[in-house]
Amino acid sequence: MDFSPDGLSLAVADGNGESAIWNVQSGQRLASLDRRTPAYSIRFSPDGRQVATGGDDGVVRVWDSTTGELLLDLPGHSGNVTSLDFSPDGELLATASIDGTTRLWDVGPAGGRERLTVPGHDAVVYSVEFSADGDRLATSSWDRRATIWDARTGELLTNIAEHPDSIARIAFRPDGSQVATAAYDGMVRAWDSASGQLLREWTAHGPQDIDVAWDPTGQRLVSGGSDATVKLWDATTGNLLNSLDGHSDRIHRVAFSPDGRIVASASWDGTARLWLAGSGEPLATLAADGGQVKSVAFSVDGSRLATAHEDGTRASGAERHHGDAAARAEPRPGRSHRVSLGRCLQSGRRPSGHPGL
């Protein structure tokens, strides 16, 4: 899932081919996207006028976010599109696939063509991300490698040292000076994005599921993994700031609120949790209606959070809950996602009279 830049709409990718855009206030469907093709990644353009989806047929599609009209049909990948990201100016769209390639597309006013194919990986590319200035592109892959590319030319700029295991996530520090990687060996590492030098590494979690995210200042990292813990790290000293316990199964996704004061986590135990980032105090446990919680994400202003979970039923769209929050979901084939959406806790204060918080 992805919030629109103004926080008023939520785009949801669905593995049953029922991707849609929803009104955050009313929970009403604003636009239905292609019902023929399951989509596993979705993203709003920076100006909110377009939504891009990546399908299991390898085709990238760009839609009008108001009407749901198909604007661009971009074939090229030979397998599922796993991740996508718009450049900050909205002129380029980067897409990654299980075919081992990353592609750059021109999607501006005169767009609709592939600019280049970025080589460099021999297996599934899990994540792709632009730097904040839009000049560079970072990728991570099943082949245990992470790379940084020139986003305009496709030139390889930095080849991160090979990891002992596949790399689930790569994320630029907000100022672009570093990247963090989370690998299936349970390790989180921070690298100089220009030289590729290893700066810090943490034995963060057990093997298998792992995720990592920077706080808005770039001073802290949050990670979650298969040991069911959420951990906060000082990115400068390497010190463990806090270990947050409460989940009973592996953690699939973690996120900082835009102001850095709250951490959200999504777990296979069927809950999402909110924590105060400073003290580690638990704020709320958000129980799913069924199935694993796969994703959490804050709206741009931090006022809302969305959670997505698999329950084996058809996607029911947005369900209103007081005091809850929002996210980007990447469904798996054969499963559907239910989305819960509502207001996020502010300044660590619980809404009065709210049951279950």
Better pLDDT: 339 or 300: 300
Residue 65 has pLDDT above 80, yes or no: yes
Q: What pLDDT, in 10s, does the model give residues 266-283?
A: 999 999 999 999 999 999
pTM surpassing 0.95?
A: no
Measured distance CA(168)–CA(126) in Å, rounded: 6
Average pLDDT, the chain: 85
Residue 150, class by beta-carbon neighbours within 10 Å (0-12 exposed, 13-18 middle, 19+ buried)? middle
The confidence score (pLDDT) of residue 335 equals: 42
For 40-54, 68-82, 219-233, 326-340, which range has the lowest pLDDT when averaged over its residues? 326-340
pLDDT value at 188 more than 80: yes
Q: Are 256 and 214 in contact (CB under 8 A)?
A: yes
Q: Could you tell me which residues come within 8 angstroms of residue 187 by beta carbon, excluding any fewer than 6 positions away?
A: 163, 164, 201, 202, 203, 204
Residue 140 to residue 35: CA distance in whole angstroms:
30
CA atoms within 13 A on the CB side of 141: 27
Please name which of 116, 121, 111 lies closest in space to residue 82, comparing C-alpha atoms.
121
Q: Please, are residues 101 and 144 in contact by the beta-carbon 8 Å criterion?
A: no
Q: What pLDDT sits at residue 132?
A: 96
Give 182's pLDDT tier (boundaries 50, 70, 90).
very high
**8 Å CB contact between 120 and 165:** no
